[in-house]
Amino acid sequence: MRWLLRSKIHKATVTEANINYIGSITIDEDLIKKAGFWPGEKVLVVSNTSGVRLETYVIAGERGSGNICINGAAAHLIKIGDEVIIMGFELTDKPIKAKNILVDNNNKFVKLL
């Protein structure tokens, strides 16, 4: 069994950072669906801006909002305006084809990668 990349949102822009929230990353529900994430799923978030990497879980945000909100303690590390990659993995014994999506500066779907 190996951990393989299953889903990725590439080059998203953080629109909000809420230190007072209990934790997680809030993602526009349209992007969750396009990338194939599930609410509650553990994800790795990497900041292309600062190089910070952290694990958290997905919360569904308002559909069509373009919202990417870093919540809780992670908001100390990843800030509004940071460019991030959000990745989900799967433990499997077979190769899988990852579903990678590219978004624009407003976090709107551009294309599958």
- Catalytic residues, by residue number, are 24, 57
Residues 6+ apart with CB under 8 A from 31: 9, 12, 68, 101, 103, 107, 109
Pairing state between β 24-28 and 68-71: antiparallel
